Structure 1
Amino acid sequence: MNSKMIILKTDEEIEFMREANRLVGMTLGELSKHIKPGITTLELDRIAEEFIRDHGAIPTFLGYGGFPNSICTSVNDHIVHGIPNNIPLKDGDIISVDCGTKLRGFCGDSAYTFCVGEVDEKVKDLLRVTKESLYKGIESAKAEGRIGDIGSTIQEYCEKRGYSVVRELVGHGIGREMHEAPEVPNYGRRGTGPKISNGMCIAIEPMINMGGKKVVFESDGWTVRTKDRKPSAHFEHTIAIRNGKADILSTFEFIKETN
């Protein structure tokens, strides 16, 4: 099979994906109870893995391409793919937690950037705009449209507010595999890219920087951070295109807002 082929899902498959994605949302909700100054990201990783396995699923990130943990934990200027460690979170930090599950043969994938204790208002604004841009991007995902419509919407929304969009990392198709075609950039031009069709399932995940868009890939082979060391935010939902528009399969409803 051509690895670039977009695999459209049946209604039944989409419901299986909804279950996997709901579990991701529940896992993020469980973690939200523990995210406070003093906890380490390795402790969060342990909580997540146990929670996922207790619900009959497997953490898809664990071992993926050699990744050593069940969640990605990216703090402050780290954009994505941060490896959990023993450094305690501090008051004023932000942390993106990216989580994936596989349940009954289908994958779920979602991410949320949390505040740790009292966070600077300017940083909270970055989080708010990034999260809003995710929902704007989702609204623009319509059958007969193009993938470029999503990225263009996110890019315009964030750049108008003075933020920059990461170019090197993108959203993706999802289904039986965590990463499928097509790639879903958070920038671009309307009317370009693959056509959006009913049955398409994609993960949309804006990665938005407070400073410039340039990134650095750290020597651990995973962590990506901002070149200027300014904060970055990351939010992600998995969606399916049904009846011409986006149906959000993942959920933030379980996350307890700490601020």
Structure 2
Amino acid sequence: MPEINTGDTAWVLASAALVMVMTPGLALFYGGLVRGHNVVSTVMHSFFILALVSVQWVVIGYSLAFGPDHFGIIGGLDWVGLHRVGAEPNPDYAPTIPHLAFMAFQMMFAIITPALITGAFAERKRFKAFVLFSILWATLVYDPIAHWVWGVGGWLRTLGALDFAGGTVVHISSGVSGLVAALELGPRLGFGEKPLEGHNLTLTALGAALLWFGWFGFNAGSALGAGPLSASAFVVTNTAAAMAALTWMFIRSR
């Protein structure tokens, strides 16, 4: 029987909390970039997703993404409502931490991914349509892709696909979906007629800082343990973010 490592467990739970902070950070980041009369709705997109996907993940999302495989496409319903997901580690995914800890960490990825898309339709979607889109996208897009890449038996995982911290599951899926949404909805009202400046870049900077902070959990936590791999991911994450910030500031100053 796998043994729980308390250090690994503490780090993964702390990382889950760090990744959770990224969603409010994203709310501030997007909120500062839109016009003043759209700030509340833009911020609420991210906060609503935080609540909605948390419930969806516990009820059915985790089972669809990581449950026993069906034809390499989707997980089964064996773990609906977190049935049989408890304190004992799951050796297929994270042998040194409680299964619940792994589930919680993955839940934060499932939350922030649809939240990333909201920037593509800021100021252009009714709230009811947003709610329907979010629950359908999480269930019909994110959960199957997560199973393909990360789930035992998933067809991309079987082919040898590697995704350490969501390059495919999080970023490609949200990026493509955001592009499609932006193309379908068209530009914001007033685009091309006058500059659409963000109303509060201080909010945007604060949101970016929270995203930078949370990314340590996002990447280093994906090692699913406290060790050399997580330390390497931590250093690389900070170095990449710092270099990107310096490059942006250099370009803007010219």
TM-score bracket relative to the smaller structure = under 0.3
Q: TM-score, normalised by structure 1?
A: 0.23
Tell me which protein shows more helix as a share of its residues.
Answer: 2
Q: TM-score, normalised by structure 2?
A: 0.24
If you compute each CA radius of gyration, which structure gives the higher value, 1 or 2?
2
Tell me which protein shows more strand as a share of its residues.
Answer: 1
Q: Larger RCO: Structure 1 or Structure 2 (Cα < 8 Å, ≥ 6 residues apart)?
A: 2
